Structure 1
């Protein structure tokens, strides 16, 4: 067994992929092993820091492998020497840190050896090591300033800062983003699905089903072999597929919409630097306050705001009696159903494949909260849709409720009319989403009071303009009066509406739907026997607001159950 005195560990780190003075991890390890052999040391462990982990105090990045190597060196149970390619590759925090390290090693017999000649246990090298450490720290600081200055210029000029462009895009000769002919069609297809109301999950399922090339450029199902983090062993990944977090990151990236991005580091009350945000925000010009374009995007800024707002809309805030995981807006009646017993909003359940049910939100959280109801989504939706269309057909065409419910209905079958109104709706939705985002930034302190005071009035004016233009567009659409009176026409054209339009009609006509439990397990669903619909004008269906009595089980069924009970009693005796 190797003694700690004759054992050594190797630490390697590479901060960038640029060719030059840097060495690859394998090159560093090879040279460090050669030094260990010359020193008569046996390498017992290799600490590999992931690429992109800075060594300076300014970066503030965690370097868990370096810290683990120092901790193990201090314990001295496995080794008492750590070999690095160069000390400044491991630590650029300056004389204070190095001075403490040198004093500790001189007293304990531990040491750090460098391929560059560093030996922290040699007292004659103490001054030279400290000086080199200060030079490395100063270089790191200046390099950081130069990089930050270059980034500010490129960011303000609308140039791509570097790194892999978002899925569907590539960096053009002018330094801006442009459509990538190889990947743009699939990226745009995913974007259009999200704009049509699809969920991230359904889009990812489609990408995996068709085995679309990954956003990294690797073929679908690729298996990657890499070094285990912090370990000197090779590991194989699972076959790589599309994942919801991957698509979510792409969608949230400002670059996907052709916008410049920025990450602002958190600053504590005492001025200390905190962590970096997981997602970047849209960068706004220091001169104009407007978002800076970085070239073409897969989606437009307006479409980005709409998609993000819809994703946020699927994560409703906590409400009493509603599970946090309930996605109310995905279903047609998610905002209108109420439990007759506790008043909770619904949750969606799928006890059997292919069958989806509405369930009392309290009951879905576990036994004891509410005995609640369960009803089939298809049956309940058909019942409410039918009564809502009858309600609409009986209203005066000039009634405000009718006009709101039918806004744009007549144009749904006309692609040109639908496209024009859709563009106005997207503009309004994007403006409202931007206004909400600015308010959140002001509340969280990202924007100062002065910035918020300048930005909020401008955003409110943008929203008002979008509302006015949409109202004018809707006013230009002619809705035939006879169509409003024709229940058959309404029923036939209902399926031509998209999910968002159908929800608008329901929310414009139905105030709420109170749902009661089934009279017994296995009872066939019947709308009038299970639900009372209250419309926006206060009227109800059934008209008296009372459920239609359930006739109970058929006589033959009752006799069959009684016979089973008698047979069970006879067999038990």
Structure 2
């Protein structure tokens, strides 16, 4: 959102209007966005400000999230903080932000010292006015206090929601928004301990069509039974199950292709035996068995489950005996292979991963389609990448962008503290230069005219001194780093450094100069590897060849 040309930002105001999606409760109705906007425009007219933009946001009624993504709110705040506008009007403080005093302090005490106003409506239905104004010293304390109260309330409510969900799980209710594939949510009426009829969310078998082109009568629960029992006990691995379903054009739970990870998670999921589940730690999709305070399993079904305990145990036993089936054990995200993370498949643009003695397209391994999946010898490709890396660096000059980029990355590895200081100094220099530019910009638009002329010379001196000081800090921090990468440009020294390096160091050395390597599929089975024809490199200086 840009400000009108030639318009002084201090004369511009934005309006932020927000309304929850929740249905109005009995005897209570929330003011509409249009009504909020009308009140904001009255305030703008009263202050003699021009409304630049109206931010309209319809959000969730839940106030339990500590920090939800609210893009319009973030944009409105960024416009005020960035000086695009001089004021921002918000209908209610609890409509604004629940991050606490930090969000308010950035406005009432801006780093650049330029005044900004955050205005809140007075809440009077008959006489719109300003309830709180951040430019009023008496209101600042109240703004900070109420912002902190909103944050604390959110934290308390978050804890209440967690406790409520645990209670619902222990009561056998399904609390997730979506049901697992092959099951669906059903609302059942039950009588509580006081004799009152209440509604509970349970699961039942889903008889909706699975959209199987070969069998239109096949339901989603039929497919789920095949995935979680009949196919595993037939000695099919998750990868084979996914490939068979994809071959038959059966849509996955997301509507696209089946991946072996999806199949594996379904086989492991206890919900298909009718038991309540909870999310596994450090896993987005994997579920684990829920137990109540007494340590008992809890049924979540209305009606029979998809599998019996015996069937699930049989399927798990068969799956755990198949190669390539993960069991949810411990793992590490450390990259053990030299090219992991920088290698790309030329067929689909996705990652190429190491599998034994080869690098291959990850989609081919996951049972997903790739128009031209790459398969290449690990040894041959790593030798080729080393050859290109060595030749590229040893033929470079000290003034080349590639050498500079490699030096920056090498410094980050061998002198991380000094590198962080250098980056901080560069950021400080950028801020100082921006401050100097603002002084001259304010002079050009007349902010130092008239009585304010006396302030121009001191402000200009302070801004200029800040730039000089920041430049000296950059020079000092750069000197402290003191990294030497001349060994990378000398053929013999580079070879010697490589030969002495550990596997971990070799991975790091490659990444000093290489961002990505893309490999295409061989022209025919058994073709001799031709690196010049099949690979393309993206180097650290942004060039490609």
Task: Provide TM-score, normalisation by structure 2.
Answer: 0.43
Task: Provide TM-score, normalisation by structure 1.
Answer: 0.41
Larger radius of gyration: 1
